[in-house]
Amino acid sequence: MTRHLQMRSAPQRKISGREWLVFLIGFMGAGKTTVGKVLAKRLGWKFYDLDQLIETREQRSIASIFAESGENTFRTIESAVLNELLEQQLKEDSAIVALGGGAFVHPHNRDVLQRAGVVTVLLSAPVEELARRCQSSGNMRPLAGDQRKFEQLFESRQEAYSLAQFRVETQGKPVQQVAKEIERLLKTSN
Ligand code: S3P
């Protein structure tokens, strides 16, 4: 477990208070949604999945948004939904939020998160493991079809991902263990 402190300039939200906002980031297949749900349940907090919110708002799947409107439009919607989430739904309660794999890569989204004073946790795993998880999941990911592009995208995002405040390795660990590790690091960092 490594701590990255580059984004800690904003005041941290308190785990004992009502507004501890933890954003799970990482590449496709990192387990952000799966771990996020388990972690939120353990803590008794709300859980939000940004991709799910996008699909609900758009009334179409992420794959359809990419196919019908293109990635740029998807990114615009993604940023808008992130803003709405921070402004409207996350005011009162502590929550865990799973971000889509590309959301944290965009500097504008990182700025918004930093200004909001949220905690960011990177879930990491080797690219071969991430590819295996994406292939075995039923989730149709528009950017996971081509293995070589998948690996290139993974490499190109490492610098942005390294800006997360915390990093948790997930390879070979059951979901409950990853959730427990995040819970422990949140408590010890408070
Ligand atoms: C994307 C990851 C996806 C989804 C979209 C784009 C990406 O989310 O937001 O397909 O750019 O890495 P997951 O990371 O939950 O698969």
In terms of residues, how long is the chain?
A: 190
**pLDDT for residue 73 is more than 70:** yes
Identify whether the C-beta of residue 117 lies closer than 8 Å to the C-beta of residue 20.
no
| pLDDT per residue as tens digits for the range 158-190 | 999 999 999 999 999 999 999 999 999 998 876
**pLDDT for residue 3 is more than 80:** no
Q: Ligand 1 atom closest to Cα of 142? A: 10
Ligand 1 lined by 102 (C-beta under 6 Å):
yes
| pLDDT per residue as tens digits for the range 113-131 | 999 999 999 999 999 999 9
What's the CA-to-centroid distance between 102 and ligand 1, angstroms? Answer: 6
Question: For residue 184, how many other CB atoms are within 10 A of its CB?
Answer: 11
What's the CA-to-centroid distance between 82 and ligand 1, angstroms? Answer: 14
Rounded to the nearest integer, the mean pLDDT of the chain is 90
- Interval 27-47 mean pLDDT: 96
Q: Is the dihedral of CA 154, 71, 76, 94 positive or negative?
A: negative
pLDDT category of residue 90 using cuts at 50, 70 and 90: confident
- Interval 60-84 mean pLDDT: 97
Percent with pLDDT over 90 in the chain: 78
Pocket test for ligand 1, best of 23, 27, 28 (most atoms within 8 A of CB): 28
| pLDDT per residue as tens digits for the range 96-105 | 999 999 999 9
